Amino acid sequence: MNMHRLARRELLVALCFLAPSLAGFSVFYLIPFGQSVLISFQDRLGGGSMTLSNYKELLLSSSFQQAASNTFWFTLISVPIVVTVSLAVALLLNRRVYLRNWLRTAYVLPLVVPVASIVMVWQILFDWNGAFNLVLGYFGMDRIDWMKSDWAGFVIIMIYVWKNMGYNIVLFLAGLQNIPEQYYEIADLEGAGPWRRLFGITLTYLTPTTFLVVLMSVLNSFKVFRETYLVAGAYPHDRIYMMQHYMNNMFLSLDIQKLSAGAVLMAVSILVLVAVLFRTERIFRSFME
């Protein structure tokens, strides 16, 4: 009886500590999202009849299809790149290399530098009169209008990788340092090669960390709007016209119903993707066990 009373008391204390966060989350996220879901089914603001016409018009819109396709391909390409590069750098920094501590600090710097400063650097590099075009001209090659051509997609991927790899490196380094050194010593005694150690020990025990890094990278890929907007403006090249651009333009035109419908579809897509990742991670863990 005393144990049940103690458990209820601890639960009450925990709820008291969580109450401010839950209230803030409800006021600023949960309730507005619920309102957006309701608006997405209305034929006009402030009420009206319930309809699916907003979703039908949205799915038939060529600009929405372009934005959804670009966002899908950006996530599909950029996430594996940033995870692979972050893992490779983390494996390097986990060794005893020259200036290791300075290198760790350098890779974390993009996390604390304001986005506007980051974009200014990339603008200097990829502007029509920027550094890369200066190098091309030095070798007698024609200039490239990077942000108004198909190269714009690669530029945004580079910005995304450079901006987000620092946080992933920190997570991978934490995971690497939690792997017992005895496993590697036993592998050396058994004559295991570097690839066998990498796949049999390192990547196996990094599975939870890798899953977290992939999850965070996917979520961050949907938030690349700030960098793209500052580099290329509200109406960028078709290659980098993302879902955030579409919803921002719908907001500027006060088409709140389509904006809400787009936000709902985007949220559902993210939830489905996260559910698939969780399911994949559980299947992989059960297979490894």
Looking at the fold, whether 252 and 125 belong to one and the same domain comes out as yes
Identify whether 206 is part of a domain: yes
Model pLDDT, residue 189:
77
* Residues 81 and 140 grouped into a single domain: yes
**Considering the domain boundaries, does residue 46 fall inside one?**
no
Residue 145 domain-assigned (yes or no) = yes
In a domain, 246, yes or no: yes
Q: Are residues 145 and 283 in the same domain?
A: yes
CATH (domain of 252): 1.10.3720.10
**φ, ψ at 130 (rounded to 5°):** -80, -175
Q: What is the pLDDT of residue 83?
A: 92
Do both 19 and 160 map to the same domain? Answer: no
pLDDT for residue 146: 80
**Is residue 162 domain-shared with residue 33, that is, in the same domain?**
no
Opening angle at CA 222, ends 278 and 69, nearest 5: 100
Does residue 48 fall inside a structural domain? no
Question: Are 207 and 250 members of one domain?
Answer: yes
Evaluate whether residue 283 is within a structural domain.
yes
Q: Are residues 14 and 62 in the same domain?
A: no
The reported pLDDT for the residue numbered 40 is 82
Domain containing residue 3 = 1-40
Residue 94 covered by a domain: yes
Mean pLDDT by 10 residues, the chain (289 residues): 73 86 85 84 73 84 87 90 90 72 68 72 78 83 80 86 85 84 78 78 83 89 79 77 83 81 87 86 72
Residues 269, 232: one domain? yes
Q: Shortest CA distance to 54 belongs to which of 70, 66, 37, 67?
A: 37
Q: What is the predicted pLDDT for the residue at 37?
A: 84
Classified as helix, coil or strand, 49 is strand
At a CB cut-off of 8 Å and minimum separation 6, what does 63 contact? 241, 246, 249
Domain count, the chain: 2
Q: What pLDDT was estimated at residue 80?
A: 93
- Tell me: do 81 and 124 sit in the same domain: yes
In contact, 262 and 247? CB cutoff 8 Å: yes
Concatenating the DSSP letter of every residue in 79-100 gives HHHHHHHHHHHHHHHTS--TTH
29 and 65 together in one domain: no
The answer to whether residues 1 and 129 belong to one domain is: no
Q: Are residues 130 and 154 in the same domain?
A: yes
CA distance 157 to 41: 35
Q: What pLDDT score was predicted for residue 91? A: 85
Is 144 inside a domain boundary? yes
